[in-house]
Amino acid sequence: MTLTATFLGADWQTVADAFGLGGIYALMAVGIGLVFGVLRLVNFAYGQLVMAGAYALAFAYERGWPVWGGILLCFGVVVVLSVGMDWVVFRPLRTQTPAVMLVATFAVAFLLQSIALLWFGSLGKIAASLSSLNQPWTIGGVHIREISIVAAAVAAACLVVLVLLLARTTVGLQMRAAALDFRTARLLGVRANRVIGSAVLLSGLLAATVAVLMTVQTPLVTPDFALRDTILVLAGVVLGGMNRLVSATLGGFAIGFAAGFLGGALPTNQSQYLPSFLFAAVIVVLLIRPGGLFARGGQQAAERV
């Protein structure tokens, strides 16, 4: 009964929010999935890339930079950090077991968060250059915040560009092959470092995009910016199916949509327990289909180099 009431009671704003959040989470899922595909490494610290981008935006806003200046700085900082992470952390870890890699990226996540805490303090900075997007659009008598639609649209556009990149370009083909069977790809002359570098770069670009979109609705940037979201996206990616980019992205979108919808539709005293419901669902799915909801049955993870 509650669910139908929720459905009927949910307004267009909530639906738009759900699509917006789903889109943002889908982008994060792709960022995580791309790196996982070529490195077989789950980057717990992905949220820290978004955090860094958000701080860059705050930096620019505090100094009164134009919007485009802030966005450029954001992209620059995130890409540099992403590549740096690859050099310092991912490369030495490539020969380790998945468990070690998981704990290592967990450590890096914490390290970056605590560096931010040290550097910027816990009070937070404001990044409100694009706050105008919080204004509502009126469509057919219904009010919807611009950002919800913009986020969904930007996410969709990015995904389309990515699909084209992966399907039509040589680099994309190499990344897809490397994700399936890295060793054989190298035998054919595919340069490991180039493929990994491309994945890391793309992953960074996506994180920067997410930072820009997220600061609109959450202009207060703190060291744990996007931490909650990263955890949910990771859960969503595992839920959808880590091994393939499509299923990982669907998983990320699904959990974002669910979180956005339920967050808006549920009354507060129930929405407090939202993380519990989401994670309980994730655990249940993992027990029934450890490969993920959207994964093909019997999908084997291809060998890493």
Partner 1 sequence: MLELLGPGALVVGVGLFGTLVSISTQTYVVNALVNVAIVVALYVFIGNSGVLSFGHISFVAVGAWTAGVLAIPLTEKPAIMPHLFGFLRHTTVGDVSSIALATAVGAVYALVVGLPLMRLSGLAAGIATFGVLEITHNVLRYWEKVGPGVTTFSAVPETTGLLQASVGALIAVIVAFVYQRSRYGRMLRATREDAAAARAVGVSIYAQRLVAFTLSGALAGLAGGLYVHVLPINTELVYLNLTFITLAMLVIGGATSLWGAVVGAVAISAVDSFLAEAENGVHILGGTLDLPSGTRIVVVGALMAFVLIVRPSGLTGGRELRLPRAFARNVLTKFSA
Partner 2 sequence: MLELDGLDVRHGAVHAVRGLSLSVDRGEIVGLIGANGAGKSSTLHAVMGLVPAAAGDVRLHGRSLVGRAPEDVARAGVALVPEGRRIFAELTVEENLRLGVAGRPNGDLARAYELFPVVKEFRRRPAGALSGGQQQQLAIARALVGKPELLLLDEPSLGLAPRLVDVVFEALEEIRESGIAILLVEQRAQRTVALADRSHVLTNGRLTLTLGPEAAGDSETLVAAYFA
Residues of this chain that interact with partner 2 (CB under 8 A) are: 170, 173-174, 176-177, 180-181, 183-192
For residue 24, how far is the Cα from the chain centroid?
Answer: 7
DSSP string, 110-162: HHHHHHHHHHH-SS-EE--TTGGGGSEEEETTEEEEHHHHHHHHHHHHHHHHH
Q: Is 123 in the site for partner 1 (CB under 8 A)?
A: no
Q: Please name the amino acid found at residue 259.
A: A
Of the candidates 3, 2, 4, 6, which has an alpha carbon nearest to the alpha carbon of residue 14?
6
Size of site (CB under 8 A) for partner 1: 37
Closer CB to partner 2, 13 or 299, in the complex = 299
Strand ranges inside 25-108, DSSP E: none
The DSSP output letter for 225 is T
**Residue 186 binds which entry of partner 1, partner 2, none, with Cβ cut-offs from 5 to 8 Å by kind?**
partner 2
How many Cβ atoms from other residues are within 10 Å of residue 270's Cβ?
Answer: 13
Contact 153, 163 (CB under 8 A): no
Cα–Cα distance for residue pair 128/221, rounded to 1 Å? 10
Question: What's the closest the beta carbon of residue 196 comes to partner 1, in angstroms?
Answer: 17
Q: Is 10 in the site for partner 1 (CB under 8 A)?
A: no
Show the site string, 32-71: x = touches partner 1 by CB under 8 A, - = not.
Answer: ----------x-----------------------------
Of the candidates 23, 37, 84, which has an alpha carbon nearest to the alpha carbon of residue 212?
23
Show the site string, 128-167: x = touches partner 1 by CB under 8 A, - = not.
Answer: ----------------------------------------
Cα–Cα distance for residue pair 93/91, rounded to 1 Å? 5
**Residue 139 binds which entry of partner 1, partner 2, none, with Cβ cut-offs from 5 to 8 Å by kind?**
none
Helix (H, G, I), strand (E, B) or coil at 45: coil
Residue of 69, 172, 197, 275 interacting with partner 1 (CB under 8 A): 275
Site residues for partner 1, window 233-262 (CB under 8 A)? 234-235, 238, 242
Closer CB to partner 2, 143 or 183, in the complex = 183
**Residue 189 binds which entry of partner 2, partner 1, none, with Cβ cut-offs from 5 to 8 Å by kind?**
partner 2
User: Hunting for tokens 């929010």 — which residue is that?
Assistant: 17
The phi and psi torsions of 30 (rounded to 5 degrees) equal -65, -45
Closer CB to partner 2, 176 or 289, in the complex = 176
User: Hunting for tokens 């670009």 — which residue is that?
Assistant: 205
Of the candidates 177, 205, 219, 164, which has an alpha carbon nearest to the alpha carbon of residue 54?
219
Site residues for partner 1, window 81-110 (CB under 8 A)? 88-89, 92-93, 96, 98-100, 102-104, 106-108, 110
Question: What's the closest the beta carbon of residue 280 comes to partner 1, in angstroms?
Answer: 6
Question: What's the closest the beta carbon of residue 142 comes to partner 1, in angstroms?
Answer: 33
> Which ranges of 188-273 does DSSP label H, i.e. alpha helix?
192-217, 227-240, 245-265, 268-271
Q: Which residues pair with 138 in a beta bridge?
A: 143
**Residue 192 binds which entry of partner 2, partner 1, none, with Cβ cut-offs from 5 to 8 Å by kind?**
partner 2
**Residue 190 binds which entry of partner 1, partner 2, none, with Cβ cut-offs from 5 to 8 Å by kind?**
partner 2
Interface positions with partner 1 (CB under 8 A): 42, 88-89, 92-93, 96, 98-100, 102-104, 106-108, 110-111, 114-115, 117-118, 231, 234-235, 238, 242, 272-273, 275-276, 279-280, 282-283, 286-287, 290
